[in-house]
Structure 1
Amino acid sequence: MDFLKSLVILSLFLILMLLTIIIYKLQKNRTVTPTDWPILRMILGAVLHSNRFHDYVTEVLIDNGGSNMFKGPWFTNMDMLVTTNPLNIHHILTKNFCNYPKGDNFRKIFDILGDGIFSCDGELWEIHRKVTMCVFKHAGFQCLLETILWNKVEKGLLPVLESISIQGKEMDLQEIFQRFTFDFICKLLLDHDPKSLSIDFPCIPYLKAFSDAEEAIMYRHVKPSSFLKLQKLLRVGNEKKMSDAWRTLDQFIYTCINQKLNEYNNMKCEQQEDKFLVLTAFMSKFKDHGVSFGDTTKFLRDTLLSLMVAGKDSTSSILSWFFYILAQNRTVEDKILEEIHTHLDVKLGERLKTKEISEMVYLHGALNECLRLFPHLPFNHKTPLQPDILPSGHRVDQTTKIILSFYSMGKMKSIWDGDCMEFKPERWLAKGGGIKHEPSYKFPAFNSGPRTCVGKDMSLSQVKIVATMVIYHYHIEPVEAHLVLPADAMVLQMKHGLKVRVTKRTTVN
């Protein structure tokens, strides 16, 4: 009965959509803001611009002073307030934080993450945050991270770039960075190197599973719940992808966890003390905070999967967009290269120190500018517990979905002045030297408020090391006429990848 009801609703929806499209195409006067049609409301505009969704939303927000109430079809409960107003961002993420938890709807959309840090609220979230910060600050973790990162750069990334450079062929730099960060985060968290980054580019099922799951999650934000239920029931479309991806990821992660725990438990005490294992570090810290495990392996799986998603996607996204925008701005690349030689005097085979990296102010400014224009998290999704009035004057309640468009924020003249579309690392350089600070509610590249990303510094350090080594050794040139567009995904990836050619620099010492 539920199936027939969903089928009827879907059929009516498609018929109405077809009729409205015909009417829409007959219109002579079109505005950027989508027309509020009877029954279907504003969904048609989003559908017709789905090939450039983030940029279309930005245009609508510019046309409406930074905030716009998107009206979904009458029967779908899809009304959304989309906003870039920094005061709204500050209010929701910081000042009135308790009224905007992740909530049940968020947990349904991100159900694959279970009880991980990104989908839980209240006391469990606070424990997750304390434990994660404690593990990240541990000397053993810092040493492990640095060792794995440099090994992967020297034995994985640079050899692959060298091979491609010698062959003179085109390559997808985004895929290179995705494989690099995937290998890195798996080795760091699971003590397992999938070795997806190698010259033959092997097919790794669980790497694809991550992408399929993230795509499905993205569409859960914009599709009617009845349509999603129908897809899940029939095991078709993105919901089938999600189901298959979930099964693949669970098989991979559970296998790694069980194998490493068995190896660790079979070690002698002195061997355990000498080996820092992220798995056991999290277990120990959770116990210290009084967490009683129902299913220890399941809880570890949820914890580590959330961190894997964050670590894998954020770093690869930042690197991809950074080298894309750097290729459009040769002067900036030259200045960064000059800074590398001036401050570091890098020699082949040397490893950079944290202090040396922190001295590269211009590189930091360039990365901030890239994150302003192309934030790895393009939006955040919130719903209030209690009715509220935002600083912009919009009234919201428990039925209102609020989309904080971080992608659009970087392109608003009202926030970043008239030159907001220009790539200017100097924007971040303080007059007296150092980096100019901007409040996180204006520049929410790593979120804002109590839920600010705990791995922010770790992620930026990784990006700086990788960017420095790649820029120092190679020049990246984009393939002419290759179209680069943001993909419809939870993390800002490139729809068609980043096709480039790699040339080795002749000035390398």
Structure 2
Amino acid sequence: MAEIEIGWWEILLGVAFLLMFYLWREEKKGLPRSYPFLGMLPGTLYYINQIHERATVTMRRSGGTFLYKGPWLANMDILVTVDPANVHHIMSANFLNFPKGPKFKEMFDVLGDGIFNADLDPWRAQRKIARGLITHMRFHKFLVQTSKEKVERGLMKVLEHASDNGMVLDLQDLFQRFTFDTSCILFTGYDPGCVSIDFPEVPFSKAMDDAEEAILVRHVVPELIWKVQSKDEKDDKSMMGLKLDDDKFLRDMVMNLMIAGRDTTSSALTWFIWLISTHPRVEAKIRDELKTLITPPSEFHKWRVFKQELKTLVYLHAALCESLRLYPPVPFQHKEPTEVDTLPSGHLVHPKMKIMFSLYAMGRMETIWGEDACEFKPERWISERGTVKHEPSYKFLAFNAGPRTCLGKEVAFIQMKAVAASIIHNYQVRVVEGHPVEPNASIILYMRHGLKVRLKRITK
């Protein structure tokens, strides 16, 4: 019998085939494949642009909690969970054992020592300052005045110009400009004037977008790599950098408030308007609700929605909540236990172990929201009495939960309602045919390609 010789190429080909087979088998299960030494990193990097959808599939197939295995010795294992019982335990019941941790601060170094990075006493001190500012009556009056002026003299002027000239408009860019302007005015007293038909360049906004994308990558790339990449930037201290260090507390506080005001609200508005434009039934119901507030009828085209009646817009509020459920502006939350603990799901966690919530996946879980979890259905937020239905924060995490519940929740709803109502009342928004709509790979859930639309003025 003739001898069969097997060369190195045949062996490598066989190994490659086996790897492909195992990868295919795991993909059929909907779970990430863990490779020797590399863990699940290769698949994560390959599918980085679909990270939110991949997380959703993984959560469904794993029962709501999954251990992500990072590269060997890289300390990148992450317990990802969308189990409401786990969320409640971590965010409320055992809050003190689950700070954000030092690794979070390193990844989010652009935020400095601000409230989003702080833990324990520094966090309490900054939260007290922020609460005193945001809940003050004068702040709310200033908020209403500032937002009203920006809606009337800025946002609506741009929309009118685009509509009258048949222009294609990127609403995501416009909303970012609007919230950047209002945040600057509210927290620094300066109006950069970004909401203009000239669309001036905004270097700060571009820098923040780049930073937010880099932060997401830091969650999936070994720490050594991104620390080496950022070393030169940290070592190069200009005179401006030294000056900022002298005013570090003020800088960090303003930076955190700016991100909270600019990024989350503009993201929420972008996804909301897209959902409305693709769901004519919901759009019509909101428009009908708005018409009940118009007095006198002759003011139909002049009316800008920014009155006390905003609180009576139940269906609009429900639609906004539903949009936030499906497209939370901050799609991930990150925690680190300080002591060994057992979660309600039975998973054991230990110090320095990373725990992550996928809010994007959480809003799509049938075990949490029912069989229609992926449907845009504002009615789920309206009670039998016709009032807004409350959902527990450990189920609806868009505004965080427990002691870290978002202080700016009411501020966000005021701005979102004012902008959304003014647009829906005056214009029909339609996405440009063929324009792709998909989430960006960032810590803020922006659209990768913006939201290109055309506007048609509503007639009486």
**Fold match (TM-score > 0.5):** yes
1:95-134 alignment, distance < 5 Å: 95-134=93-132
1:442 aligns with 2:395: yes
Runs (4+) off by over 6 Å = 19-22, 246-251
Match of 1:23 in 2: 19
- Residue by residue, what CA displacement relative to the aligned partner does 1:123-162 show, whole Å, maximum 9, x if unpaired? 2211211221111122221121111111111111011111
Match of 1:189 in 2: 187
Match of 2:170 in 1: 172
Q: Aligned partners of 1:327 and 1:109: how far apart in 2?
A: 36
Match of 1:269 in 2: none
Q: TM-score, normalised by structure 2?
A: 0.91
1:426 aligned to 374, 379, 385, which one?
A: 379
1:322 aligned to 272, 277, 295, which one?
A: 272
Match of 1:272 in 2: none
Unpaired runs of 5+ in structure 2?
Answer: 1-14
Q: Aligned partners of 2:20 and 2:401: how far apart in 1?
A: 39
Match of 1:16 in 2: none
Match of 1:309 in 2: 259
2:333 aligned to 380, 383, 406, which one?
A: 380
- Residue by residue, what CA displacement relative to the aligned partner does 1:475-500 show, whole Å, maximum 9, x if unpaired? 10001121111111111111111111
- Conservation of the 8 A alpha-carbon contact between 1:343 and 1:359: no
- Conservation of the 8 A alpha-carbon contact between 2:180 and 2:262: yes
Q: Aligned partners of 2:255 and 2:216: how far apart in 1?
A: 17
Once the two structures are TM-superposed, the CA of residue 26 in structure 1 deviates from its matched residue by 8.2
2:228 aligned to 227, 230, 255, which one?
A: 230
Q: Aligned partners of 2:342 and 2:264: how far apart in 1?
A: 32
Q: 1:476 to 1:106 in 2, by over 3 A?
A: same
- Conservation of the 8 A alpha-carbon contact between 1:80 and 1:402: yes
- Conservation of the 8 A alpha-carbon contact between 2:338 and 2:352: no
Match of 1:486 in 2: 439
Q: Aligned partners of 2:132 and 2:75: how far apart in 1?
A: 41
1:455 aligned to 393, 400, 408, which one?
A: 408
Once the two structures are TM-superposed, the CA of residue 47 in structure 1 deviates from its matched residue by 2.2
Query: Alignment length, in residue pairs?
Result: 441
State the identity as a percent: 44
Q: Aligned partners of 1:388 and 1:49: how far apart in 2?
A: 32
SS at match of 2:430: strand
SS at match of 1:343: coil
Q: Aligned partners of 1:323 and 1:21: how far apart in 2?
A: 46
Match of 1:5 in 2: none
Q: Aligned partners of 1:434 and 1:187: how far apart in 2?
A: 34
1:105-504 alignment, distance < 5 Å: 105-233=103-231, 295=246, 297-345=247-295, 347=299, 348-350=301-303, 352=305, 355-504=308-457
Q: 1:146 to 1:154 in 2, by over 3 A?
A: same
CA-based RMSD of the aligned residues comes to 2.4
- Conservation of the 8 A alpha-carbon contact between 1:384 and 1:400: yes
Once the two structures are TM-superposed, the CA of residue 354 in structure 1 deviates from its matched residue by 5.2
1:50 aligns with 2:51: no
Q: Aligned partners of 2:178 and 2:290: how far apart in 1?
A: 22
Once the two structures are TM-superposed, the CA of residue 446 in structure 1 deviates from its matched residue by 0.4
Match of 1:77 in 2: 75
Give the partner amino acid of 1:456: K
Q: 1:482 to 1:131 in 2, by over 3 A?
A: same
Give the partner amino acid of 2:424: I
Q: Aligned partners of 2:216 and 2:239: how far apart in 1?
A: 19
Give the partner amino acid of 1:442: K
Q: TM-score, normalised by structure 1?
A: 0.82
- Conservation of the 8 A alpha-carbon contact between 1:381 and 1:403: yes
Give the partner amino acid of 1:164: A
Unpaired runs of 5+ in structure 1?
Answer: 1-18, 255-293
- Conservation of the 8 A alpha-carbon contact between 1:71 and 1:79: yes
Q: Aligned partners of 2:131 and 2:422: how far apart in 1?
A: 28
Q: Aligned partners of 1:96 and 1:311: how far apart in 2?
A: 29
SS at match of 1:462: helix
Q: Aligned partners of 1:64 and 1:37: how far apart in 2?
A: 19
